[in-house]
Amino acid sequence: MSRKFLLLPNFTKALPVLLCSAGLLLVTNQGFAQPVMQAGKLTSLVRTADGIAIETEHAHVALTVFSPGVIRVRMDKKALGADFSYAVIAKPGKTDFQLNELEDILVLKTAALQVKIQKRPFSVRFETPDGILINQDEPGLSNAWIGDEVSSYKTLQEGERFIGLGEKTGNLDRRGSAYTNWNTDAFRYSGETDPLYASIPFYIGIHHGMSYGIFFDNSYQTDFNFGASNKRFSSFSAQGGELDYYFIFQPRVADIIHTYTELTGRMPLPPLWSLGYQQNRWSYYPEAEVMRIAHTLREKKIPADGITLDIHYMDGYRVFTWDKQAFSNPRGMVDKLADLGFKTTVIVDPGIKIDPDYATYVRGMQQNVFLRYADGTPYSGEVWPGWVHFPDFTRAATRAWWQAEVASYAKQGVAGLWNDMNEISTWGQKTPNNILFDYDGHITTHKQGRNVYALQMARASHEGMKQATGERPFILSRSGYAGLQRYAAIWTGDNTADEEHMLLGIRLLNSLGLSGMPFTGMDIGGFTGTPTPGLYARWMQIGAFTPYFRNHAASDSRSSEPWTYGEDVLNISRNYINLRYQLIPYLYSCFYQAATSGMPIMRSLAIDYTHDEQIYSRYYQNQYMFGDAFLVAPFASSKEFGRLYLPQGDWYDLYSDQLEHGRQAKALELHLERLPVYVKAGSIVTTQSLIQSTAQQPDDTLFIHIYHGPQGSSVSYYEDDGKSYDYQNGQYYKRQINFIPEHREIQFGAVEGKHTSKFHKLKILLHGFHDVGSVELDDKTLPVSMHRAGFLGKGDKELNLPGVTIANSAGKITLKY
């Protein structure tokens, strides 16, 4: 074999390698730029009211103490710019901290952690107050620039795991993988596709019994490397802008999520109807087809709350219009659906057709709302309506214009807006980088504006519907950035009807929950392709245990309503939708918890069982908690046997009440009619009678299921009117329910709030209480009846208190058994 060699001149003598305090820098005597530039040594520092301002040889740095467990690090080659963020809404709190300067290091110390800042070269190390390493810049690499790209390199700890990072494919533990944040229309994505639709640059690191979070608040394209193709470091980088990240240290993963959502905001309480089952298709049209679907759902006793209209309801895909032939009287149709107990959601795309006879376009041009090139020409892209302009949602005046346009839907009775194609998506999928974004007065290009575009569209949609109706809107978005939870729910885009995609969707939803997004869903049944009857049945079961429960199918797929797969699948689907509606009191209280604490509804086991290595196994990583009580174990419908892992504690089979001990793996024989679900011992689950939509009032009895266990529990039961903002003025009903096994007591705390509960009677169902024959209530002894009245199966004992209005009693009540 012959080889050809390219002979190069010997430039070695002309290219000296200089080792200096800034790290390894390549410098030429011709004055070429340094390929990798680090911050260099510290040259000055000033203590500020909430941190330190530092200058180094090549950088300007600010460390801000946001709270005892949160330190913000900002760094740039030039003076730090305006402090502006679309994601972070919190301000630094007044936090006591100490700053000590030693010869080689600075030590900044709060009650929760200490930060050691090396002077030569500059680098940062985060420790516990007693000096145990949490996270540190990798020595010799630290923070660096390659051109405009800025990176932070962190030492890869022994056994370190990484979770979160939002909508990302792959395993629960992201160790050994790398990811890019660049909002992308990822049609028919696979289990390895990256990036996807949304960017949430927040992850949680886990090692040596500790957890920490890092939120990298930079809307340029960002890249995260968790030990991919190297064994030395993890890193995060951005293609432009500052190195700007928040380091969060808290005792538990749940506390880290709580703190992250303090920074970026929490979801508002959603309208109650949005928790119900939603039926969708690309597309239901004309009006007669929409009404046929609605009437069939009611005739077949399939509870449902929503009908969603896809792009064919519009006149030539022009947003804010209706096809006059297919939908001659939109308000009349929406009212008829409302009479049947359905709310109407419509799709809304950002592209505005270039058409001088189109009123929305004309108003947009008059008000100068569209993205433009540097020469002032509006950017044109091609999408469903043809050639369109795109509103610049990073401009306040544009958001106000959009809010006024959105009001037309509210006037027609529409209750929900589905923001689609908002990555931005265009045919060709290559939006030019030289488009200018206002960025609320900080004019920038597509490079920085793209990832926040959908966030600001959701903001405008949310505020527009809220102003127009005075009620809580439902906004669904395909794309977004950190902080999206303040305005919208998110679903996982155009998935595929196969078994692996169903399980991938679960991991995506769990990861979104770890990343501050509680209201999440996927297209049940798969958007593209046609599921087998078994796959559809299993997906519908899982859908009942997801926050946003929507069935959706593409136009070139077969009809995908529950009755289209045969009577057996219809019965399975209806059973689990029925269960969903019985669980509405429990689920609404979970949403209240999400709105007040940031805790997701659908929870990776990494939240509560962080340091149990089994939960990261590929066999068990799809399992999750649904609220505090339910452990859901999803399996492909094609499998006859599955491997289940029950983490620490005791667990009850939802259907039989059989008790299982935790920290064990077991084989399960799988049956299509039942999704494996377990209830954590000590749990309290509230349910109601079956209804066909949330517009229907349930019976006046609230059912309280209590599962015996040594740990007990405490839950906040919550109600309000489910639609208005009156809860912000005290119009809510809240009550703490405590199960205290060591005292053999069930306590109902005093009522908080001014709202009157819809329930006037209480029925308590006891699971696993084998030695209870009676209870004491207000010094009266009441018998406990025993019959088949359990939760979805055989319950051990039922406590029925006829005529006792516990749900509305203002005083504390204690039941002793």
- pLDDT for the residue 9: 31
Closest among 191, 255, 154, 185 to 621, alpha carbons compared: 191
**CATH classification (class only), 34-264:** mainly beta
CA distances from 33 to 27, 37, 140, 170 (A): 7, 9, 20, 38
Per the structure block, which two tokens stand in for 391?
């509103």
- Token pair of 199 as six digits: 């960017």
Sheet holding 243-249, edge to edge: 42-48, 51-56, 60-67, 70-76, 243-249, 210-216, 202-207, 161-164
Q: Is 810 exposed, middle or buried (0-12, 13-18, 19+ CB in 10 A)?
A: exposed
Residue 468: both structure tokens together: 């127009």
HSE-CB at 483 with a 13 A cutoff on CA atoms is 22
Of the candidates 59, 87, 86, which has an alpha carbon nearest to the alpha carbon of residue 73?
59
Of 550, 612, 535, residue with least CA distance to 580: 550
Residues assigned a catalytic role: 420, 423, 494
Q: What is the pLDDT of residues 262-309, one digit of tens each?
A: 999 999 999 999 999 999 999 999 999 999 999 999 999 999 999 999
Do the domains 699-816 and 34-264 match in fold?
yes
pLDDT digits (tens, 9 = 90+) for 669-687: 999 999 999 999 999 999 9
What residues pair up with 736 in beta bridges, in sequence order?
Answer: 716
Tokens of 604: 């990776």
For residue range 82-134, list pLDDT tens digits in order. 999 999 999 999 999 999 999 999 999 999 999 999 999 999 999 999 999 99
Is the pLDDT assigned to residue 795 strictly greater than 70?
Answer: no
Which pLDDT band holds residue 555 (cuts at 50, 70, 90)?
confident
pLDDT at 794: 43
531: left (phi over 0), alpha (psi -120 to 50) or beta: beta
What are 593-632's pLDDT values in tens digits? 999 999 999 999 999 999 999 999 999 999 999 999 999 9
Residues 807, 748 contacting (CB under 8 angstroms):
no
Residue 794: phi and psi, rounded to 5, are -85, 115
DSSP 671: B
- Show the beta-strand stretches assigned E in 40-177: 42-48, 51-56, 60-67, 70-76, 98-101, 105-109, 114-118, 123-127, 133-136, 143-146, 149-155, 161-164
pLDDT of res. 734: 96
219 upstream amide cis, omega within 30 of 0:
no
Taking 50 as the threshold, does the pLDDT of residue 789 lie above it? no
Cα separation, 235 vs 154, whole angstroms = 6
Please count the other Cβ atoms lying within 10 Å of the Cβ belonging to residue 374: 10
Structure pTM?
0.94
Residue 577 pairs with which residues in a beta bridge? Answer: none
Structure tokens at 97: 């901290």
Q: What is the CATH architecture assignment of 275-350+393-597?
A: Alpha-Beta Barrel (3.20)
Quote the CA–CA distance of 314 and 320 in Å, as a whole number: 7
Q: Extract the tokens encoding 254.
A: 């749940």
How far apart are alpha carbons 69 and 316 in whole angstroms? 53
The domains of the chain are located at 34-264, 275-350+393-597, 699-816
3-state secondary structure of 762: strand
Task: Give yes or no for residue 817 having a pLDDT over 80.
Answer: no
Q: Are 311 and 282 in contact (CB under 8 A)?
A: yes
- Rounded CA gap, 765 and 795, in Å? 7
CA 222 from centroid of its chain's CA atoms: 19
As a CATH number, domain 699-816 is 2.60.40.1180
Cβ of 667: how many Cβ atoms within 10 Å? 9
Secondary structure of 462-496 in the HEC alphabet?
HHHHHHHHCCCCEEEECCEECCHHHCCEEECCCCE
pLDDT at 329 (0 to 100): 97
